[in-house]
Amino acid sequence: MTDLPPGLVFDTGPLRHFALQGWLGVLKYLSRDHQVIIPESVEVELREQCRTDSALRLVLEAD
- Identify whether the C-beta of residue 47 lies closer than 8 Å to the C-beta of residue 60: yes
In a domain, 2, yes or no: no
**Within a domain: residue 49?**
yes
Q: What is the pLDDT of residue 6?
A: 78
Q: Tell me the pTM.
A: 0.79
> How many folded domains does the chain comprise?
1
Q: What is the span of the domain harbouring residue 50?
A: 8-61
Segments in the chain below pLDDT 70 = 1-5
- The answer to the question of residue 55 being in a domain is yes
Q: Residue 29 has what pLDDT?
A: 94
**Predicted local confidence at residue 25, as pLDDT:** 93
- Compute the C-alpha angle 63/19/6, nearest 5°: 50
**Residue 43 identity (one-letter amino acid):** E
pLDDT of residue 61: 92
User: What is the pLDDT, as a whole number, of residue 12?
Assistant: 96
Model pLDDT, residue 33: 87
